[in-house]
Structure 1
Amino acid sequence: MSGRITSAFGAKSTAREVVAGHDLSGRVAIVTGAATGIGVETARALALAGAEVIIAARKPELGEEVANAINEEAGSKRVSFGMLDLSSLEAIRHFVNVWGDRRIDILINNAAVMASPLMRTADGFEMQFGTNHLGHFLLSVLLAPNLIAGAKASGKPSRLVSLSSIGHRRSGIHFDDPNYTTRPYEKWEAYGQAKTANSLFAVGFDKRFKDQGVHANAVMPGGILTPLQRHLPIEEQRALGWLDENDQPREGFKTTEQGAATSVWAAVGSELEGVGGLYLEDCNQALPWSKENPWTGVMPHALDPEAADRLWDLSVDIVGAGA
């Protein structure tokens, strides 16, 4: 794979190691879903490097608790909580209206729902596609002017980070019925579709905004046991081979600090300056997926520019923004 972008970091690197040496003073970052899991460590690493960080999540108690803990560690008030429910288009528009015209330098679309039973958002969308993709799509296109303003103010491109997953290998986009209105629902296929959408969104966003100073990349954080698994009984996690006989994470799973590393690298890595539309994992540009290594790599359908354009147009029609 000629021209592949790599870094000095890898699968075991932590978010703090990745951000070491970066001074993010004056930079503003929003991290969705940062009240739990790898989002917490993503917010922490950025804040300890000097950034102002907004935890955009739907649980005020948890979000405020995380913000207070990071501020205490940082020794100053760098982190705050913003109420954001990505399963409601109205709530997303409210968050953006409250934000106003303030600049943003880094937007990390970290929040996710995984393998849930069939549920629907406030607007009737299938929960995984509706929250993981459509919610982040609306948030991002409405905040695009703020990201552009951040680039103008700093003189450096702003960055959008879209969290995908190796789960993208389970499904491409079902364009005639993405919300399972007629076809039978299967939770892992739905998760795969949503994670493919997250990758294609990075391709589409970068294409539309790179000339205005904003770049977007997709990230596979790795396997990490966090509240993301809330819909999976422990028996199913055992059957998937995620847990050993003592119900401990199998070899290859990451800590939350390691799981946040690629998101942080995508947000600050000098190797990615002026670069977008990529799928990243283990702090490197991912290799193509192969049968020999089925749990790593990226499949062609997740980076297909034609599918990215088609998904963008569909998303615009659904949410009424981003044209």
Structure 2
Amino acid sequence: MVDLELERIRRRKRVNTLIERTLVYALLIVIAIISIYPFLWTLSTSFTTSGGIFEFPPSLFPHDPGLRNYREVFSLVPVARQILNSLIICFFGVAGSVILCALCAYPLAKMNFPGRNFIFYAILATLVLPNEAGLIVNYVTTVKLGLLRPEAGVVGQFAAIILPALPSTVGLFLMRQAYLAVPLELIEAARMDGASELRIWWRIMLPLTMPTIAAFSILQFVAFWNTFLWPIIILRDRELYPLAAGLLDLAGAFATNTRAVSAGTVIAIIPIVIVFLLFQRYFMRGLEGAVKG
């Protein structure tokens, strides 16, 4: 009798667990469908060459599919040049941001000095401010540095885009949390052997936090690749526009070719999807390690 009762309890638990998992997965599937629908609609619209695109109920299958919209994008916008501009901005932006945040997070995590926690929480408090709050300050600083002068050339204009975006509060937080997970005994042993703080950071901290660095690099790549408002404000030469800002030329003053805009959006999304698929494993490991730290 006792065995039968225990078997009933186990069976009831298995059924309850199955029901709970089914409900959770059903909810997640609904959320996934709602989230992915705009991307599917954009992809379908980019291949649609005739008929309405704002019909109800909306259709995810393109009418008279073709590549005319993509050819139109390449004829209206210098896509190749703007992709090159975006790659230049992403390369120097990601490299500079990772180095800066990795350096700044080390003393906040592993060095004792007065006001360390206050400085860290003060930096975190800036997350409540919108990105637009710093536009005026960044513009004034960029002008005073002379980056927009004609003699500064292309390098100065690219630097004007990259430099204000190098500090990242999210990156500082991720790197600090990853550093906190590194055993203090390793650092103390290195200090006893006479290693400098910079050498400890380079030889110990960075190798042990590579997953977090990879995750942060992906986040920064997406941020720099999608940069839109700041380049439009700061750049005087439209040939130096990154792809996200250059696609603005597809929208007219009085009318917009939605099909061409959708095609341009798909072109801009493809590199982000490729990068995420290639480094998804490192991205998840990095964020998991930072949260645990």
TM-score past 0.5 threshold: no
| TM-score normalised by structure 1 residue count | 0.23
| Structure possessing the higher radius of gyration over alpha carbons | 2
Larger proportion of helix:
2
Larger proportion of strand:
1
